Amino acid sequence: MSAPIDFYFDFSSPYGYFASERIDALADRHGRAVMWHAIVLDAQFQPQGGVKIPAALMRSEYVKRDTERTAAFLGIPYKEPAHYPVHTEHAARAFQWLSDRNPDEARAFAHAVFRAYFVEGRNIAETGVLLEIADTLKIDREEVADAFTDSATKARIKAEIDLAEARGVFGSPFFIVEGEAFWGNDRLAQLERWLEKGPF
């Protein structure tokens, strides 16, 4: 079987959200699986003092217009969040806990979290919102609540973030297939071209 596509995302990234709505269909067209990885960009970059896109830029008028325009162009529902950016550690931990047990369930949770934030305007930094999402998906509420603070789950998400950094991941969305890295929702066309015809 062909190598899977690794898809890295932060739940507060609008471009990560757009990619999450497209990557599985793209992969299906080429017989590839997708491995979803939640990361927390602040946790990844701040301790190492690395370079990241400044939060001020992500709140700029350009990005505000670009996200609206991109959503309209792609036909993806989108509403600018009232709270931006938000901390996504709890969402990432819950996703990781689910992913280690049931990747399909974790993917459904990720879609629901992204849509809660970028369509419904809910504050996904609030654990109550995440637990309501778990309820809607019939995922055990108490187990998800435990995942927010469980030391093993914290260690797992830290390991995911450390591995992402080691692989050169520096933003959301970020894709790796067959050792080739693609950064950004606007690189999906190049990624698909790579899957169709091989290396450039």
Q: Is the pLDDT of residue 93 over 90?
A: yes
CA-CA distance, 82 to 13, in Å (whole number)? 14
- 159, 152, 151: which is closest to 44 by C-alpha? 159
Scan for tokens 């739940």, then name that residue: 11
- Other Cβ atoms less than 10 A from the Cβ of 159: the count is 11
Pick the range with the lowest mean pLDDT from 61-65, 101-105, 140-144, 154-158.
61-65
- Rounded to the nearest integer, the mean pLDDT of the chain is 91
Scan for tokens 């999450």, then name that residue: 20
pLDDT in tens, 8-29: 999 999 999 999 999 999 999 9
Q: Give percent of the chain with pLDDT exceeding 90.
A: 82
Helix, strand and coil in the chain, % to nearest 5: 55, 10, 35
pLDDT at 122: 97
Q: Is the pLDDT of residue 74 over 80?
A: yes
CA-CA distance, 151 to 15, in Å (whole number)? 30
CATH of the domain at 158: 3.40.30.10
Domain hosting residue 54, numbered range: 5-197
Q: Is the pTM of this model over 0.85?
A: yes
pLDDT in tens, 165-189: 999 999 999 999 999 999 999 999 9
Q: Is the pLDDT of residue 160 over 70?
A: yes
Handedness of CA 183, 187, 190, 191 (dihedral sign): positive
Q: Is the pLDDT of residue 116 over 50?
A: yes
Do the bridges between strand 5-9 and strand 34-38 make them parallel or antiparallel, or are there none, so unpaired?
A: parallel
Count of structural domains within the chain? 1
Overall average pLDDT of the 71-84 stretch: 94
Q: Is the pLDDT of residue 94 over 60?
A: yes
